Chains A and B, each alone.
Chain A
């Protein structure tokens, strides 16, 4: 029987994990331990529902409801001094819980603090764009859409950014194949010449050092030139070498040493 391989996560897996191994955790601390973060969290809690909050590696992580993201970020920018949105992207948890985790990495230069606002969204749920608050979100949200297929509400230019416009699939999803699918393999051929040209052009040679000595379409056979596309299987056909000059070339006289003259007298 063939071994079952789940298709919802095709990423590389460790080939061996000890049966009794339990992964340790990065320690989480309570938000109340840090005065600055506690004040920020209180400000958010006043207006919005906070699902979870803790401090990990010196940065506060706040889980909010997805519909509140614009409001929370506006509050953080205007009232808490988090003036920069350093980074924004998503994590794919589709295989585990059918959700994406979107995070906003914020920086307050006045307080020298960084916090991360996070939220879970369903696979086809659109996210409110925060581009009006932070222009940097313009490009990072496009990248998030490009990589995960997360749709955006109110984005001025929701287009792919790194991949070509007509690309199929969302590269950073765990279901995306690692080896390049059929679409990727024939992308240039389909684009420039059309699908019908696939047979004519043939698959791409991924090994640049490979030379097929029986391939008379791509490689000349040095010393045994045969016509383009000539077919032969095992034996190398006899291809007598001949040079054009042997039978004389039109308009060019053959050089005869005996007829040549050495000019010694320049006034001759």
Chain B
């Protein structure tokens, strides 16, 4: 640490220990392929890593502390800033946790819209993952292609809620808006083209010699290591566990849609890559079905978007503007906040990165007494401690790439 001689040039990036010929390399926190603020201290023998020590906390904003001092609805936009690549899935996890705490049932149309948003977010996140990982490994073209498609999805979400990155598109008790007129058509247009696009990426990468050399057999995570480190999502499914919360502990209407869970027992980077690609196809499959489900709600005239629970959820705008009691209740809910019952709940959801869980302890007040955010990337970063030793410097980049970590979520 730079203490005694302040402001003297100090080369903290590289240290040579002459006795054991071990090189300590400081990777990040500003390294372009560290995907945010990851600092890795790597002990090297020649080019081989013998010890890795991930250092996090450069993006720590104390969200759990913030949550303890905000009313429940106030915290919703803050969740956007966790996994900012797929922010609706964070909103959703929080909304679902509070709904479970209160015991709310969300109207069917809201559920369908939520599922649409979740799967669009999954596609956005996976496309972003593909683009950045390919770019890290040197495939610039894939980056441009994948971002083109992601841009289309961001426009779709912008049509829905007006924001592109931090959506705050889901409320506790439902969704704030119905989908706009052209939304389903645009979504369908995108979905019809998506298989072609995915095939384009795969044509560029699947048999690419460089891609295969960087991916196959690199970063192998055995099943027991993945379980022990709390890996979830594609990281776990690539290591031979077919576990997807959408399927195993279904929430929303995931038990009504038909989709598969891609998995592999290889556990290497390439397996993870294949799983991401397959998951994009599955998401498209789900989205097609949600379009039909939405049309069904239109046919059945199910127009409600927010749950009816006057103690916790404000009435629709029309009621607030026309009925005195709704206005009073809305005023109380906005100024004082809802007061969920005393108790605690842990609700896991399958975010694009893995298991995103919210633990809420409520003391019956308008502020949560304790809120713990279980972000998947936190452990996917931790596993680098055990995963990197034995690998070489260039593998670090591809392994960080396929772990798909986002630092808004790691540091929170």
Contact = CB atoms under 8 A, between A and B. Distances in A.
B370 interface: yes
Contacts of B359: 87, 89, 103, 105
Interface in A10-30: 11-12, 14-17, 21, 23-26, 28
Contacts of B347: 57
A192 interface: yes
B378 interface: yes
Contacts of A140: 378
A109 B69 contact: no
B104 to A, nearest CB: 12
A57 B227 CA distance: 25
A128 B300 CA distance: 57
A138 interface: yes
A86 B367 contact: no
Interface string A71-98: 0000000000001111101011000000
A11 B68 contact: yes
B228 A136 contact: yes
A232 interface: no
Given A163-B57, A192-B7, A89 B372 contact: yes
Interface size range on A against B: 35 or more
B346 A14 contact: no
Interface in A133-163: 134-136, 138-140, 147, 160-163
DSSP majority for the A interface? loop
A65 B365 CA distance: 29
Contacts of A266: none
A11 B367 contact: yes
A196 to B, nearest CB: 11
Given A16-B336, A87-B346, A112-B248, A92 B229 contact: no
A26 B341 contact: yes
Contacts, number: 126
A57 B56 CA distance: 33
Given A91-B361, A105-B359, A59 B346 contact: yes
Interface in B296-327: none
B348 interface: yes
A86 B376 CA distance: 9
B396 to A, nearest CB: 19
B229 A114 contact: no
Contact of B348 (A21, A114, A192): A114
Contact of B378 (A14, A61, A114, A139): A139
Interface string B328-366: 000000001101011111111000000101010111111
Nearest to B355: A86
B193 interface: no
Q: Which of A14, A112, A134 has the most CB of B within 10 A?
A: A14
A56 interface: yes
Interface of B: 6-7, 56-57, 60, 62, 64-65, 68-69, 100-101, 103, 225, 227-230, 232, 241, 243, 248-249, 336-337, 339, 341-348, 355, 357, 359, 361-367, 369-370, 372, 374, 378-379, 382-383, 385-386, 411
5 contacts: A14-B337, A23-B341, A84-B227, A162-B60, A163-B57
Given A25-B343, A163-B60, A178-B69, 16 more contacts: A14-B336, A23-B339, A23-B342, A23-B364, A24-B342, A28-B343, A87-B359, A91-B369, A91-B370, A105-B374, A107-B348, A114-B346, A135-B383, A138-B385, A172-B64, A193-B7
